[in-house]
């Protein structure tokens, strides 16, 4: 019997922005939140064990209150560490915990977690239970459709049914299998073909499970179509590289009466945030490396981005200069 979780709050998250190492830090999430007030945002993957032993937990866990709804993604395979990490996630105020069973990197798989865990459903179930039993947050999972030779539909079906019994509230499925040997993580995001049909069959055969699909979504209309079959759509690389192309999420997916926001509006609205960051003697590039991606597909976009990047990397981008350059964008209508 599959547990009915159709009333879960997770159902509200029709669109999410994927966890991406070195991309979805708090600064990127602040930018993305200006673009959609509704999409569920994720942290980068945090290894549960590192969280237990670090002497700088804040670095991993701190976030801005504006980032809600926010899911924290954990990697690991030790229920004891995950249990402690789950308590911390709750104490810090996250909205959800997501468990990574999709990362194919050799470092991650050498630790026997990430995508390699798809071969060990009982272990995954123990990890989920450990987190569920130690916090009140929804616990969700992100995984692939298979790994190596473990790629039959029946194994995938058994996997999600088993894990749902442990209390998993949503399944985010990257619709590709992963090759744990022979392909690096980047290749594993491109070479194995996308198989939306398999994820659709999984949803058809398990209608009460919340299933979010991931992989290859590049525009809002594709998401609108996808939502006819799936409970949610997760957007990764396209949201990172072209954030502003997603400025219709609130309007077209959630029915909010929001006007499309411009790049200059976003930058101006982030000025206090950037000022605050600089006052702490931190680098403007921490934020600008993400921010430059919102200026694209407009005349002289590359020049604008290069200008900001050079000044920012050199450490000579003042707030006044950023305002001047952004005013130029605004005067051009962007």
The catalytic residue among 103, 127, 135, 288 is 103
Size of the site for ligand FMN (CB under 6 A): 23
Task: Tell me if 16 contacts ligand FMN by CB under 6 A.
Answer: no
Angle at 19 between CA 50 and CA 143, to 5 degrees: 90
- Quickly count: other Cβ atoms within 10 Å of residue 100's Cβ: 21
Query: Shortest distance, CB of residue 185 to ligand FMN, whole angstroms?
Result: 7
From the list 5, 8, 11, 21, which residue makes contact with ligand FMN (rule: CB under 6 A)?
21
Check binding of 146 to ligand FMN (CB under 6 A): no
User: Is 288 known to be catalytic?
Assistant: no
| Residue 76 binds ligand FMN, judged by CB under 6 A | no
Least CB distance to ligand FMN at residue 319 (A): 29
Give the H/E segment covering residue 46. Answer: strand 40-47
Q: Decide if residue 216 touches ligand FMN (CB under 6 A).
A: yes
Q: According to the binding rule CB under 6 A, does residue 103 interact with ligand FMN?
A: yes
Which residue in 68, 18, 81, 80 sits closest to 45, CA to CA? 18
Which segments of 196-262 does DSSP mark as H helices, in order?
A: 196-205, 220-226, 237-241
The residue among 21 and 319 lying less far from ligand FMN, judged by its C-beta, is: 21
Q: Per the structure block, which two tokens stand in for 54? A: 């670090």
Residues in CB range of 34: below 8 A, 6 or more apart: 261, 265, 266, 269, 270
Closest contact distance (angstroms) between CB of 67 and ligand FMN is 16
Point out which residues pair with 150 in neighbouring strands: 147
User: Nearest approach, Cβ of 219 to ligand FMN (angstroms)?
Assistant: 11
Helices 121-132 + 153-165 axis angle, to 10: 30
Please tell me whether residue 295 binds ligand FMN under the rule CB under 6 A.
Answer: no
Interface residues with ligand FMN (CB under 6 A) are: 18-23, 44-45, 73, 100, 102-103, 142, 174, 189, 214-217, 235-238
């Amino acid at each position: 019997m599959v547990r009915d979780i159709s009333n879960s709050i997770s159902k509200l998250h029709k669109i999410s922005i994927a966890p991406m190492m070195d991309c979805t830090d708090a600064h990127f999430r602040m930018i993305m939140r200006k673009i959609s007030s509704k999409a569920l945002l994720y942290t980068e993957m945090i290894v549960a064990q590192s969280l237990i032993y670090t002497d700088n937990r804040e670095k991993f866990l701190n976030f801005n209150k504006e980032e809600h709804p926010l899911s924290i993604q954990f990697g690991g395979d030790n229920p004891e560490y995950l249990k402690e990490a789950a308590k911390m996630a709750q104490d810090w105020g996250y909205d959800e915990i997501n468990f990574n069973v999709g990362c194919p990197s050799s470092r991650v798989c050498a630790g026997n977690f990430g995508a390699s865990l798809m071969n060990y459903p009982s272990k995954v179930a123990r990890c989920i239970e450990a987190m569920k039993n130690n916090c009140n947050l929804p616990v969700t999972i992100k995984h692939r459709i298979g790994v190596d030779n473990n790629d039959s539909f029946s194994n995938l079906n058994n996997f999600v049914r088993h894990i749902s019994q442990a209390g998993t509230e949503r399944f985010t499925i990257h619709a590709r299998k992963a090759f744990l040997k022979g392909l690096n993580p980047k290749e594993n995001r491109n070479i194995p073909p996308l198989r939306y049909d398999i994820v659709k069959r999984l949803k058809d055969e398990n209608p009460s499970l919340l299933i979010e699909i991931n992989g290859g979504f590049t525009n809002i209309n594709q998401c609108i179509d996808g939502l006819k079959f799936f409970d949610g759509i997760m957007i990764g690389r396209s949201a990172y590289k072209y954030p502003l192309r997603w400025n219709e999420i609130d309007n077209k997916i959630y029915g909010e009466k929001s006007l499309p926001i411009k790049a200059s509006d976003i930058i101006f609205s982030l000025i206090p945030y950037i000022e605050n960051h600089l006052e702490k003697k931190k680098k403007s590039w921490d934020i600008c490396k993400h921010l430059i991606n919102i200026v694209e597909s407009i005349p002289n976009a590359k020049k604008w981005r290069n200008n900001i990047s050079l000044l920012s990397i050199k450490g000579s981008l003042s707030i006044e200069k950023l305002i001047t350059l952004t005013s130029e964008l605004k005067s051009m209508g962007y």
